[in-house]
Structure 1
Amino acid sequence: MSLPLRAVLAGSLCSGLSLCLLPLPCALADTAHLMTQPTLTGNWGGQRQRLEDQGIKLTGDYTSETISNLHGGIKRGTRYAQQIRLGAQFDLSKLLDTPDAGRVQVLLNDRRGHSATEDLIGNRMSAQEVYGGEYTRLTELSYQRTLFSPDLSTKLGYMVMGTDFGGMPILANFVSAGFCAHPLTMSSGSGWGNYPTAHWGGELRYDVNPSLTLQTALFQVNPGYNARVSKAFAMPSNGTTGAILPLEAIINNRAFLNGQYKVGWYYDTSDYAKIGGTGKSSSRTGAYLLVDQAIWRDEQDPASVLRLFGQAATSNAATSPMRRWYSLGLVKQKPFASRPQDSISFGYGRAVINPRTRGVQEAAVAYPDDTAVITGLDSGEQVLELNYGAQVTPWLLLRPDVQYYIEPGAFFGKQRGNALAAGLQVKMTF
């Protein structure tokens, strides 16, 4: 179903506003500070801060992404997708009046809408990073605390492994899932789980020094049950095919031109069918390198900074349709003196198809002409994205966005024209 762009954008804003205002009528007391307060619903007449002082922090946010395909791909049109999150953090040290008692976090996620990628562009990398799993689910129920020293911490429960592994905050400046916020080789070629799909697991993090952090984890791999709507709040343990173990080193450069670098590797014990073969692979592995580095900063105004990011990732040759992923881009923070919280972001990414997958595509064609089409396709899909993040108020961000996809049919053995898409991302904090 396609809707006029103007109607969809208006509906996006109105539905988000109504959903966040309905449960909190006391927010009306804060309307005098609507444009300057950190959240849309304010301090609830002081109740919000009182709860937090007691150890209960309530959070919520809304994100919508409306994308129109203007040229190429499958067809022209517009699609809208949205996500609403509601969370609660319980500081047990405050609630129980006990030092170092830890923290419990609960997070619910609801996604709705339609996919511009599936319906209009026909590519592999989703043009809307909030699209996927269109239902309400429990995304996190976890317990976190330090162990023996403030430098060593653990987190246990039902949660998303990609929240703490394999991503970089700077990549949240993008709309396409090709960039935000993990290399797609991870979930394509193993039991790696990204938001909002949770798994049972445990994490261990050690801050060796201010410049180096080491972390590891063990998560359940459960591809069948975790994706079922009927299991949205069941926290299933049955259906487990194995476990995945990530190892990650985080290096922090704390110079004036600061940066962060992540090097990671993961091992999945699950058996998985080999692409184009009759046997199974007894395990799946992958590795990645992530870089976020400031390359220029105004000495008179340190908030004005130009950052360079890069990603390089590889996955299992026998089982992953996406063999490698590369990306490179720039993010300019505070692009204008009068807009200190805005950003301009540009990124380029390339997903490389597994030659085994291409071989399966060629073997499946019924006519010689179809074989010629597939062999003429590029060895991967490419994406370029340019956007402007306008922080209209502390709680409202509008991000106009342009995306261009090269060889959008490469992963499906289809010859599709390069696609030009444009849209708007809306983010509101309740």
Structure 2
Amino acid sequence: MLHAQSSDATATAATPIDAPSAAQTGQPTKPTKLKTAAATVRLAAADAPLQQASTDRPSVQQGIPSTDQLGVSHIGDATPSPAPGPRQGLLAGIGQKLNDWGFTPSLNLVQMYLANPSVGQQTGNHEALTFIAVGGDFDMEKIAGFPGATIHFQQLFVPFTNNLAWGTQVGDVLAGQPGPYVPQVSHLGIFTWEQKAFHDKLDVEFGKTNAGAYFGAPVCNQGFGCQSAILQNSAGMNPPVYVNWGGRARYNITPAWSVQAGLFRSNPAYPFTNGWEWTDSVPDSNVWLASTAYRTTYQSDPYPKSYELMLYYNTRTQTDPFTQDTHKGTSGIYFGGRQVVWRPDGGQAGAPDPTAVSLFATATGSFDAHSSYGLAMTGSAGVIVEAPLRSRPHDSFSISLNWATLTPHEQEYLKQENLAAGGSGYTVGRTQYGLKIDANIALTRSIILSPYVMRTWNTSTFGNPAYSATPKNGIVAGIVASVFFDKMLGLTDR
């Protein structure tokens, strides 16, 4: 599932400003902190109508996890992998011939529904989106005799959207964060050349892609809902719908240990791009990433584990949200870990998809107390129950605690904006908390439902600072339905 959200919502009270047009002026929108494609969403009170323009202050959602993590079900993730099984379907024969020739097609649909009964600034709203992904992998060794080479291609279509303003209506860091903002109906999802060498120890890839496909892999039960806003905002890892020129190189020191480095462009006008642009319409920045990871699977470890440590540096000029002082570049750190800690079978070797309990935790911190987006730290921690019923080996359930802490200057900025909007004073603390329950439910080998519900406390106005009232604590919920037509039709056995 590919996700993106921007505060550039559609409302009845004003007409949005086109982000690239605003960004091309090169002028910050002072005195507010919404700097390039600037906008303000103002709600005079909890039930006041939205007044808005566009903004470069998106709250975005990373969502493409690593394809080789724990050897357990990740079907609720952004690029889920259903459990392997015998090839079935009406087109199984054609699929086998295509695979033998060197082409593995992909054809998937994802339907999202998000609801906000009681959180944030405008409650009682919902959002719905439909994503269709078409593409495939070309094995260039089979096709043209290039050993270890693969071309990856995917085009994403978004034929239906409803209420893209949902994330802004919630207006916080945690609950509104999954709200996708996808104004374009068609996007290049990936177009890269991947080259492996030295018995697959070295893996190099370059082209049009997204940094989140390779760095900061989700370790929670649903990759859709546990990514750090710091990685998307401060680090500049644009949402997976949006691709940039980039490349990365990974070296597998051992089957478990690996190191990786990457360089990607980051386009601040991404909500209005389709991925096929040769150059960027507005000035952008470079994102430097370096990570080390340790991952095992059930094939080699009865208690699989996944750990990743990553550093980032973005070259974009930063503007302090409160003082408006500027400085060059921003950096930070990410850590994510997940490990199976208990199995009722005692860790029986070779057991496929065993019932197991995993613990996971993530933490992302900014080294820059004066970064443009004003996020100091985000994190999550929780428990996952995998295959709770032996008759349903690919289901999973999870409960987690999530939090996000603002920088002191971001907090002062929110207080300032509250008063400017006519409020009586901003009394919300710097750290917001959310308790979340989610699940992945395999209806069939090709249809997965991923529902979630979250209760928030200390809900902030990070996503819409110009709000005069106090945002509400409460509940948000959603469901993601993933349909793998390629698997259903027999075009692939993965």
- TM band (smaller chain): 0.7 to 0.9
Q: Could you tell me how far 1:39 is from its partner in structure 2? A: 11
Does residue 1:380 correspond to 2:431, yes or no?
yes
Instruction: Say what the alpha-carbon RMSD is for the aligned residues.
Output: 2.8
Give 1:403's match in structure 2, choosing from 440, 445, 454. Answer: 454
Q: Could you tell me how far 1:329 is from its partner in structure 2? A: 1.0
Does residue 1:334 correspond to 2:387, yes or no?
yes
Q: Could you tell me how far 1:366 is from its partner in structure 2? A: 4.2
- Superposed, 1:101-250 pairs within 5 Å as 102-111=149-158, 112-115=161-164, 117-118=166-167, 121-125=170-174, 127=176, 129=178, 131-135=180-184, 136-168=186-218, 170-171=219-220, 173=222, 175-176=224-225, 179=226, 182-224=227-269, 226-229=270-273, 231-237=274-280, 239-250=282-293
Q: Could you tell me how far 1:127 is from its partner in structure 2? A: 5.0
Aligned to 1:318: 370
Q: Could you tell me how far 1:371 is from its partner in structure 2? A: 5.0
CA distance in 2, matches of 1:174, 1:252: 17
- Residue 144 of structure 1 contacts residue 154 of structure 1 at CA under 8 Å; is this kept in 2? yes
Gaps of 5+ in 1: 2-35
Aligned to 2:360: 309
Q: Which amino acid aligns with 1:416?
A: P
Alpha-carbon spacing, 1:39–1:195, altered in 2? closer, same or farther (3 Å): farther
Aligned to 1:370: 423
Gaps of 5+ in 2: 1-9, 11-82, 486-494
Alpha-carbon spacing, 1:274–1:130, altered in 2? closer, same or farther (3 Å): closer
Give 1:420's match in structure 2, choosing from 463, 472, 475. Answer: 475
- Residue 113 of structure 1 contacts residue 131 of structure 1 at CA under 8 Å; is this kept in 2? no
Give the alignment's TM-score, normalised by structure 1.
0.82
- Superposed, 1:40-119 pairs within 5 Å as 42-44=89-91, 46-73=93-120, 74-100=122-148, 102-111=149-158, 112-115=161-164, 117-118=166-167
For residue 423 of structure 2, give the secondary structure of its aligned residue in structure 1. helix
CA distance in 1, matches of 2:229, 2:315: 19
CA distance in 1, matches of 2:125, 2:284: 40
- Residue 121 of structure 1 contacts residue 419 of structure 1 at CA under 8 Å; is this kept in 2? no
CA distance in 2, matches of 1:172, 1:130: 18
Alpha-carbon spacing, 1:400–1:194, altered in 2? closer, same or farther (3 Å): closer
Q: Which amino acid aligns with 1:318?
A: H
Aligned to 1:13: none
- Residue 312 of structure 2 contacts residue 332 of structure 2 at CA under 8 Å; is this kept in 1? yes
- Residue 168 of structure 2 contacts residue 176 of structure 2 at CA under 8 Å; is this kept in 1? no
Aligned to 2:71: none
How many residue pairs get matched?
Answer: 386
More helix by share: 1
CA distance in 1, matches of 2:166, 2:460: 11
Aligned to 1:264: 310
More strand by share: 1
Larger RCO, structures 1/2 (Cα 8 Å, 6+ apart): 2
Q: Could you tell me how far 1:116 is from its partner in structure 2? A: 7.5
Does residue 1:293 correspond to 2:339, yes or no?
yes
CA distance in 2, matches of 1:95, 1:200: 25
